[in-house]
Amino acid sequence: MSKPEKKLESFRRRKADLGKCRANQPGGNRQGTGLRDQTIKNRERTAAGFSAIRRKEVKPNFKYAVIHRHCERYPIKEMCCFFEVSRSGYYKYLKHIEHPAKDFKLTEKIRAKQETCRRTYGYRRMKLWLDSEGIAKNPKTVLRIMHKYGLLSEVRRRKKWQKMGDDKHRYDNLLNREFNVDYPNQKWVTDISYIQTKEGVLYLSMIRDLYDRSIVAYKTDTSQTVNLVLETIHLAMKSVKTKSRRELQLHSDQGFQYTSQAYFNLTKEYGITPSMSRRGNCYDNALAENFFGILKAECIYRHKPETFEEANKMIDDYIYFYNHERIQLKTGLPPLSLRQSC
């Protein structure tokens, strides 16, 4: 039994003995008894609180703070023993709270700069700013301080990778960046992109023909599902003759929609040959990425949609313009005009 627990037991015995004495001596000093009872109750509460803090899941720094708070009432050595922490750790904690961190001035300077630049500075840009202020610091030091005190930039934060589905099927990179073809419906590329609105994110799935760079089919939805891809393929295949389906190659990235069993079954049903980019290599599907870049630069970013309805209308109008009116620099014709001329 530790010393604080022994003291608590001693208090209880004294309380019991005091109760017996009061029973044998009626009319005694009730006020004194009340004060003693109150003192005993307070100490019992303190001991009970100490027992709760003693648990292993309580962090050491919290225990050190309790020890520091009661250091004038109880010996430090016995409290450290009771809370199962080291005295050296307690004295290190004291040194920490009595003396500010060595990086305190630099931290406050970085904090003030982040407030003025709207928390857009990363550690590299902050390092350049410190150099301009005549403060020479190692970039790793700046990064450590910004990370420790929560001063990192709030833009372009890395998102945690999240697996969206099961990878049941993978395919070879049959396209292999051979983007030039001789006739329509020989090679298609497909991908999914997103468009931000005030109502949320609208996902756009599209299929592009490499012959004339036209958009064969597209579909939008508020959720990124396998059905979004399947419906896009169904729309695209309505314009393809049965004979030419066996020669059709459909290239995609390694998104979970394209590695799903449903995608495998549908391509097999239509006789489409799937092709897939290498992992983490966007250039293998460059023509799909290229269209999304054009769409966003020429339409979405210039007139930011506020609702899903507005975004859908903008996409419909632009894809019609792209297929029928927008001249291709390579051919000098709009995509569908080239297809009709062949």
248 in Cβ contact with 185 (< 8 Å): yes
312 in Cβ contact with 220 (< 8 Å): yes
Burial of 137 (0-12, 13-18, 19+ CB in 10 A): middle
Cα dihedral 258/262/264/268 (nearest 10): -140
236 in Cβ contact with 205 (< 8 Å): no
Quick one: CA dihedral 5, 7, 8, 10, positive or negative?
positive
How many C-beta neighbours within 10 Å does residue 319 have? 20
Residue 246, Cα to own-chain centre: how many angstroms? 42
* pTM score of the predicted model: 0.53
One digit per residue, the tens of pLDDT, for the chain of length 342 reads 555 555 556 655 655 554 554 445 444 444 445 555 555 455 555 555 566 666 667 888 888 888 888 888 889 888 888 888 999 999 888 887 766 667 888 999 999 999 888 788 889 989 999 999 999 999 999 999 999 888 988 765 566 655 555 556 788 888 888 888 888 889 999 999 999 999 999 999 999 999 999 999 999 999 999 999 999 999 999 888 766 566 899 999 989 999 999 999 999 999 899 999 988 888 889 999 999 999 999 899 988 899 999 999 999 999 999 999 888 878 788 888 877 765
Q: To which residue do tokens 């199962």 refer?
A: 84
Bridge-based pairing of strands 249-252 and 273-276 is parallel
In order of 119, 181, 210, the CA distances from 282 in angstroms are 30, 20, 16
